């Protein structure tokens, strides 16, 4: 299960989002509480993409520099790469596609899910408040 502080921070952010991103975030929070790590990674990337494009919600008012910084950061790139590794079969890596699930596989996915949530928070904070 994800860190409670991360989940609480995301729940607080949710009211600032447009309806599409808010719906995806609600489901991501449920997935995080249920320990569905791969889902959290995929959904976090989807939310970031929606927040960057959705014409409603406070992030839609972000300036171009903040939009570019949130979209093009190293962390956003990592999140997209990690999502692609889950969604598009590229051979077993990072806690996926093993013959049998091990605790090491779950640990890798759990760490990456927490990282995905942190990246999402940082990107949304940047879009909401211009925090660099």
The count of structural domains within the chain is 1
**Per-residue pLDDT averaged across 91-111, rounded?**
68
CA distance 79 to 90: 16
Task: Report the pLDDT value the prediction gives residue 102, as an integer from 0 to 100.
Answer: 62
For residue 90, pLDDT over 70 is answered with no
**Per-residue pLDDT averaged across 34-50, rounded?**
97
The closest of 24, 25, 23 to 9, measured between CA atoms, is: 25
Residue-averaged pLDDT of the chain: 90
24-28, 88-92, 97-101, 106-110 — most confident range? 24-28
How sure is the predictor about 3, in pLDDT bands with cuts at 50, 70 and 90?
confident
Look up the domain containing 15 and give its range: 4-129
């Amino acid at each position: 299960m994800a860190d409670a502080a991360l989940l609480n921070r995301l729940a607080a952010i949710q009211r600032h989002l447009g309806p599409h991103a808010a719906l995806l975030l609600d489901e991501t929070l449920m997935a995080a509480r249920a320990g569905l790590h791969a889902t959290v990674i995929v959904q976090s990337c989807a939310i970031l993409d929606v927040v960057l494009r959705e014409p409603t919600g406070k992030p839609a008012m972000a300036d171009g520099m903040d939009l570019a910084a949130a979209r093009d950061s190293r962390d956003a790139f990592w999140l997209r790469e990690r999502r692609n590794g889950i969604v598009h079969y590229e051979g077993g890596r990072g806690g996926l596609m093993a013959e049998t699930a091990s605790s090491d596989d779950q640990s890798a996915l759990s760490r990456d899910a927490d990282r995905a949530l942190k990246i999402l928070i940082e990107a949304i904070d940047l879009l909401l408040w211009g925090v660099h």
